[in-house]
Structures are given as structure tokens and as C-alpha cells.
Amino acid sequence: MDLNIHPPLPQRRDFRIGILGTGFIVNDCHLVAYRKAGFNPVAIASRTRARAEGVARRHGIAKVYDTGEQLLDDPTIEVLDIAVPPDAQMGLIRAACRRRTVQGILAQKPLGTSYAEAREVVRECAAAGITLAVNQNMRYDQSVRAGKTLLERGTLGDPVLATIDMRGIPHWMPWQAGLGWVTLRIMSIHHLDCFRYWFGNPERIYCSVRPDPRTPFPHTDGIASYILEYANGLRCIAIDDTWTGPAKEGCPADLYIRWRVEGLNGLAIGEIGWCQDPYTTPSTLRYAAKGDPAFHQPRWSESWFPDAFIGTMAQLLIALESGAQPAISGRDNLHTMALVEAAYRSAAQSRSVALEEIETAP
């Protein structure tokens, strides 16, 4: 069976892309993926020119700007790829909106530091005539796309229960200490968006959190568990464990991210390769339906990092050439941002929170 693991690609691949940011996600994921797909990054800027020059040399980018403002002033840039910390992203998007020269922006998740900020970003891009897409790249993990295909084709039947179990130790960034975030806005946002990709918006969420003993800066959401409730009875449950036991303090580690979808007609189980060493390890899938003598176990060579980043840029470029909305538009991503906000409120108030409660607030 063709499980549709490869994202659709635009007819036109020479859109002139300007890159803001030079961290790991740009250097080892975005630009590796763009070259593989034949996309056209033409300019880059970072906080330090020397860093930008090094990334430009590695990936064959012709133009290096001293500052992000200089790159934004280049009227030949058609698409802006922003990969900076969340508290710096809104300022760059607003600056692009004031100039009204770029056609599209690919923003990082989280789209804002809050739901209200994300909603404002979406409004400003719409007013400026700029197509906004969000880099929710787990949607383009190959096993996740295969799971979506199985659901759409009815292989699993009506979904009953879905779970994501993460036992991983991410590399936290220095800017997180200032914002006080650990898991919900950085890791759980992938899983919440994945559930939305598979099943649509839930009615409500119940979330419980506790600090991660390993993370030294003040935070509440180190370890998170949550339940999404759907009107049709479906329940989606996740455990996002960034502690995983003393795996960095002398205890043997057992690290993984696994997902599972149980339907009335079948079962699908995936394991995300990103959590393995190396991070380019392909994800895996096994699935079966009633009457199958054994699990089907398709395999592929692509991996979440970096190959999924082809899909996130491609969906924006397709939107620009077709006039349609991106597959992960800023407006669609507001539902994911609202779920994150609802998770924080649920944890703080020890109650379930309806998605509507966040989205209808002034």
C-alpha cells in the first residue's frame, strides 16, 4: 500500500527564500532539506555575521546580511523562513508586514508566546496580504503521515483510543530559562498538533504537570500528561516525560517516542526515529486490520529530521503558487496554540478546559 509518506511538492521551486536564524534547526534541518528538494534559499542573516557566513558557505547561500533588518529590506526576497526564539519572532513578522514585500512567511512553532500573540500575528499577516504558514514539522514525519493515510482510508476503522508516549531528553535552549517554558510549548505542542492532524479539534483537554528534576531554571511544565476528549468518544492521551529517570546521572536509559492508534477495525503503532541516535534514524510503523495474519511493517529511508522540513516549506510554496491556504496555515495553527493555552490553564486550575473557552475569549 502507498502510505503517502512523501509530501506534495510545488511546481515552482525557485521562490527566493530568505533565512532568519542560523541555529541547529536551520543548519542541520531546514537547509539540508531545502537543498534535497531543490528549493532556493538565496540570503541569510543572524545575530552574528560570522555565524551566518559559516552556514552560508556550508549550504551555498550567495548573500549574507549583517542584520535581519537588512535582509527584510531586500525587495527580491519572496519567502521568509524565520527560525529564531519565540519571543523574537513576532517582531520580525511585524517588520515584514510593515514592508509588505515578501509573499509568504514560514514561522516556527510556537507561533507566539501566547495564544493572544499568535492571533495578532495571524491578523497582521492577513492585513498585509502575506501568506503565513507554521513549521509544525511532526505532521511530516513519515510514520505520522502514514498513520493519517490509514485513518483516511478506513483501514483502522473508527478511532477509539490514541496515545503518544515520549520518554526523551531534549536539548533545552538558553532562551527557555527567560521564558520559563520546558515541555508544553516546546515538545507537547508537536503531539497536540499531531492529534489535531489525525482527528481534528477536541472538545476539551485535561492536563497535569510537574517540574523536571534535571532542569535547573524555574518552570512548572517539565513533565506533562494530558487527555483530549472528543465528542464522538475518542480519547487521545499523551505522556511527555523529559526526565525519563536518571538517564544522565548514571542510570541506563530507555528513550523513545511511540504512538498508537486503536480503531474498531485495526491497530497502528509507530516509533519516532528522532529520539534515537543518530537523530536521522527513520521512524517505523507496524499496522494490522481484522483478518490480517500479521502486522504490516513498511520501511523507508527518510527521517523526521531533516526530511520533514521539505514538507513544511513545500506546503507554503504550494499555497503561494495555487492561491490556496497552506496545509498548516497560521489560522489553522491557532487551534494548536489554543490547545497549548488550555493545557496550561487546566494544569494551573486542576480542571478540564474546553478549547472554546480559549478561542472565544476577548
| Sequence ranges of the domains in the chain | 16-137+309-329, 138-304+337-355
**pLDDT attached to residue 288:** 98
**pLDDT attached to residue 314:** 98
Residue 47's alpha-carbon distances to 44, 70, 176, in angstroms, are: 11, 12, 18
Mean pLDDT value of segment 135-161: 98
Mean pLDDT value of segment 199-222: 97
- Three-class HEC string of the chain: CCCCCCCCCCCCCCCEEEEECCCHHHHHHHHHHHHHHCCEEEEEECCCHHHHHHHHHHHCCCEEECCHHHHHCCCCCCEEEECCCHHHHHHHHHHHHHHCCCCEEEECCCCCCCHHHHHHHHHHHHHHCCEEEECCHHHHCHHHHHHHHHHHCCCCCCEEEEEEEEECCCCCCCHHHHHCCCCHHHHHHHHHHHHHHHHCCCCEEEEEEECCCCCCCCCCCCEEEEEEECCCCCEEEEEEECCCCCCCCCCCCCCEEEEEEEECCEEEEEECHHHCCCCCCCCEEEEEECCCCCCECCCCCCCHHHHHHHHHHHHHHHHHHHCCCCCCEHHHHHHHHHHHHHHHHHHHHCCCEEHHHHHCCC
Residue 204 β-bridge partners: 229, 354
* 3.30.70.1890, 2.60.40.420, 3.20.20.70, 3.40.50.720: CATH of 16-137+309-329: 3.40.50.720
Report which of 127, 108, 128 is spatially closest to residue 118, judged by C-alpha positions: 108
**pLDDT attached to residue 311:** 98
pLDDT tens-digit map of 68-94: 999 999 999 999 999 999 999 999 999
**pLDDT attached to residue 362:** 84
Residue 41 β-bridge partners: 17
Mean pLDDT value of segment 162-184: 94
Question: Model confidence at 349, in pLDDT bands (50, 70, 90)?
Answer: very high
Report which of 23, 19, 87 is spatially closest to residue 51, judged by C-alpha positions: 23
pLDDT tens-digit map of 279-306: 999 999 999 999 999 999 999 999 999 9
Residue 149's alpha-carbon distances to 92, 199, 268, 294, in angstroms, are: 36, 12, 11, 19
**pLDDT attached to residue 1:** 76
pLDDT tens-digit map of 174-209: 999 999 999 999 999 999 999 999 999 999 999 999
Q: What is the pTM of this model?
A: 0.97
Q: What is the Cα–Cα distance from 314 to 208, expressed in whole angstroms? A: 36
CB under 8 Å to 362, separation ≥6 — which residues? none
Mean pLDDT value of segment 49-61: 98
Helix 142-152, helix 304-322: angle, nearest 10:
60
Report which of 11, 56, 67, 3 is spatially closest to residue 31, judged by C-alpha positions: 56
CB under 8 Å to 9, separation ≥6 — which residues? 37, 310, 314, 318
Mean pLDDT value of segment 313-340: 98
**pLDDT attached to residue 16:** 98
Four-residue CA torsion sign, 350, 351, 355, 360: negative
Is residue 171 over pLDDT 90? no
Residue 268 β-bridge partners: 261, 287
CATH of segment(s) 138-304+337-355: 3.30.360.10
